[in-house]
Amino acid sequence: MPEIELSAGVVEYQDTGGDGPVLVFLHGLTIDSTVWRKVLPELSGAYRCVLPTLPLGSHRRPMRADADLSLRGLALLMGEFLERLDLREVTLVLNDWGGGQVLIAEGGAERVSRLVLTACEAFDNYPPGLSGRAIAAAASIPGGLWLTMQLLRLRAMRRAPGSWGWMSKRPVPDDVMDGWFRPATTQRAIRRDLGKYARSTPPKAVLLDWAERMRTFDGPVLVAWATEDRLMPRDHGRRLAELFPDARLVEIDDSYTLIPEDRPEALAAAIRTFMQTPPR
């Protein structure tokens, strides 16, 4: 897998190459870019797809000990990633993690021309649901993240209500989840990085201010929301679509948060239509 040296450390990424428009896919906490493995074949022929592995707990290369891995710090790191690879006119595709919105709010939209917000954190919903709050709570207790990751080796724990079982309506294959959880299960430095992020959620007033500042983004926005999501309120999809001057909302049935897992064909079709639609 290619890698690039950034200010926080080495970030691995996948790049399908090609001359098509650039789609940059981001993933969520304790998940890596394989969450997009079902969507990628539907889009990679027409688009250059770039998938960084964010330092959110499933990365294999620990970051520097002094790296800023807060929500804001990781958002700005993604801006650095786009700049270092000289990616331009990027369509930024989010799922689960909402940090890409923080990049926009912090004035990092110069390389981003379009946004796809796929069932992700928004407004003050950081961290989302019981699983997100459980990670944050575990990170505040000595040994808490180690214990959490050991429990997630158990298949029953992974699919338990309130755990990762509420992330996808259909079980994620064991080998995929093993890959997601292995780094933080086996490497103390990865748990250190994960803990930095999990303890970094700012006050709600800051989160809501970031959301309000996103109004300045005037590029096309696709909001793809799951109607049965248990972590990202359905109302947030509508509110996000109303926030931007050029946004459209597509609701996808029969899915939880991980739409790329539950309904990859429907999501890929929505992205293709969106990419072919001219700005208003």
pLDDT tens digits for range 89-143: 999 999 999 999 999 999 988 999 999 999 999 999 999 877 777 788 888 888 8
Between CA 48 and CA 266 the distance in angstroms is 20
Q: Report the distance separating Cα 206 and Cα 41, nearest Å.
A: 38
Q: What is the pLDDT of residue 109?
A: 86
Residue 207 contacts by C-beta under 8 Å, 6 or more apart in sequence?
A: 123, 124, 126, 201
The two three-digit tokens of residue 135, written as one number = 């990670």
Q: For the ranges 74-88, 142-156, 175-189, 254-268, which has the lowest average pLDDT? A: 142-156
Give, in order, the Cα–Cα distances in Å from 175 to each of 8, 30, 95, 221.
Answer: 29, 14, 21, 33
Answer yes or no: are the C-beta atoms of 38 and 264 closer than 8 Å: yes
Total H helices, total E strands in the chain = 12, 8
- Measured distance CA(163)–CA(148) in Å, rounded: 11
Instruction: Please write the tens of the pLDDT for every residue from 137-170.
Output: 888 888 888 988 888 888 888 888 777 888 999 9
Give me the chain's average pLDDT, please: 94
pLDDT at 108: 86
- pLDDT tier, 61 (very low <50, low <70, confident <90, very high otherwise): very high
- Report the largest interatomic distance among the alpha carbons of the chain, rounded to a whole angstrom: 51
Q: Is the pLDDT of residue 280 over 90?
A: no
Q: Which residue from 135, 145, 1 is spatially nearest to 60, judged by alpha carbons?
A: 1
Q: 149: which 2 tokens?
A: 């990751």
Going through the chain in order, the beta strands assigned E by DSSP cover 3-6, 9-15, 22-25, 48-52, 90-96, 112-120, 221-226, 247-252
Tokens of 42: 């539907």
**CA–CA separation, 53 and 131 (whole Å):** 20
